[in-house]
């Protein structure tokens, strides 16, 4: 009975719940970390696909990588998105980054796009919020400046072949709904605070790896929350890298907050 209810619930949200947009901007050709970024992009794309599936929403994937990384084209594509009120948008960036120097109070990073181009995470987030979707999740895994830290030991805890029983499948779907469908407004995150670097290794970027691990575990908890995912990620990075996140349940309040940072 529970299963039938869940199936009905999922199909209902799929009918009335809008689409799930996954926008990935990955600096895969960048000097030194290109292959790390490639792993990040592949992993996040897979995660987004899973999230969309568990939400019962159509996954609309938009990827910018290699030679596609032209700031104007990315902004143009975002501008041309026709989002419905109940859509969910997940924006993810991996690549080089630095502090948003032109707005000293903006704690969110400037995302580099190869060459001399760059976009602020807060600018992209604002553009997405202005389209009034149900929820915007915006995340950047990149440096937010430079700081001396010790190496991070990576821990890979992903099961090789995921064996999910029906109960667990239901739990994952319910938790995914809680995280994405039951939230509105803005979820914003970056892999380091202003003035600090982010790190990557042979297997990818540490923040992205730990964030995916945290999501994996949180989706299997009896109760879940965005805060827990970000806190778990922070905990795993120990004191070596200091990520930040912001959760604002109203689109209007989120826009006001981002606006204040730039003035």
Partner 1 sequence: MKYFIVALFMTLGVFLLSLDTTAVPLSTDQLCGKIGSEFVHAIESADTIKALKLLPKHHKTKEEKQGYNVIPSEREMDEALVRAVKSCILNDEHYYFDMTKKCEFVPEIGFIISGDKEYTVYASYCAKQLKFIDGSHEIIIDCDPMGPLMEKTFERAVRS
What is the binding site for partner 1 (CB under 8 A)? 31-33, 36, 94-98, 112, 116, 141-143, 145-146, 148-149, 151-152, 191, 197-202, 205-206
Q: Give min distance, CB of 160 to partner 1, in A.
A: 23
Q: From the CB of residue 38, how many other CB atoms can be counted at a distance below 10 Å?
A: 18
Cα angle at 179 between 158 and 237, to 5 degrees?
45
Tokens matching residue 113: 């796009």
Q: Give min distance, CB of 78 to partner 1, in A.
A: 22
Cα angle at 168 between 137 and 233, to 5 degrees?
40
Is 23 or 110 the residue whose CB approaches partner 1 more closely? 110
Q: Give min distance, CB of 194 to partner 1, in A.
A: 13
Q: Give min distance, CB of 206 to partner 1, in A.
A: 8
Q: Give min distance, CB of 62 to partner 1, in A.
A: 22
Is 45 or 98 the residue whose CB approaches partner 1 more closely? 98
Q: Evaluate whether 159 touches 225 at the Cβ level (below 8 Å).
A: no
Strand, coil or helix: 220 = coil
Q: Evaluate whether 144 touches 99 at the Cβ level (below 8 Å).
A: yes
Is 150 or 223 the residue whose CB approaches partner 1 more closely? 150
Is 146 or 167 the residue whose CB approaches partner 1 more closely? 146
Is 176 or 198 the residue whose CB approaches partner 1 more closely? 198
Is 32 or 80 the residue whose CB approaches partner 1 more closely? 32
Tokens matching residue 208: 């992205």
Q: Give min distance, CB of 95 to partner 1, in A.
A: 7
Is 111 or 128 the residue whose CB approaches partner 1 more closely? 111
Which residues fall within 8 angstroms of residue 4, CB to CB, at 6 or more apart?
none
Residues 122, 127: Cα–Cα separation, whole Å = 9
Q: Give min distance, CB of 118 to partner 1, in A.
A: 9
Q: Evaluate whether 53 touches 91 at the Cβ level (below 8 Å).
A: no
E-only strand ranges, 1-134: 20-26, 59-64, 88-94, 97-99, 109-112, 118-120
Residues 23, 57: Cα–Cα separation, whole Å = 15
């Amino acid at each position: 009975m529970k299963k039938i209810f869940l199936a009905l619930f999922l199909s209902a949200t799929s009918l009335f719940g809008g689409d799930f947009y996954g926008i990935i901007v990955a600096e895969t050709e960048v000097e030194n970390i290109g292959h790390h970024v490639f792993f990040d992009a592949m992993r996040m794309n897979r995660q987004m696909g899973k999230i969309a599936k568990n939400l019962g929403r159509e996954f609309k994937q938009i990827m910018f990588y290699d030679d596609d990384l032209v700031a104007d084209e990315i902004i143009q594509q975002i501008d041309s998105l026709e989002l419905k009120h109940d859509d969910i948008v997940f924006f993810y960036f991996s690549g080089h980054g630095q502090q948003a120097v032109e707005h000293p109070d903006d704690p969110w990073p400037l995302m580099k796009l190869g060459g001399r181009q760059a976009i602020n995470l807060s600018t992209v987030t604002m553009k997405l919020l202005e389209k009034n979707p149900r929820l915007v999740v915006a995340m950047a895994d990149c440096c937010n400046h430079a700081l001396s830290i010790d190496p991070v030991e990576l821990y890979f805890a992903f099961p090789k072949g995921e064996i999910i029983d029906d109960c667990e499948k239901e739990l994952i779907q319910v938790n995914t709904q809680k995280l994405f469908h039951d939230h509105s407004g803005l979820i914003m995150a970056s892999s380091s605070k202003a003035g600090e670097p982010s790190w990557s290794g042979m297997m990818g970027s540490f923040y992205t790896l730990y964030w995916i691990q945290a999501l994996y575990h949180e989706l299997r908890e009896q109760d879940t929350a965005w805060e827990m995912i970000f806190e778990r990620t922070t905990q795993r990075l120990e004191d070596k890298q200091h990520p930040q996140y912001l959760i604002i349940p109203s689109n209007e309040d989120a826009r006001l907050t981002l606006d204040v940072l730039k003035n």
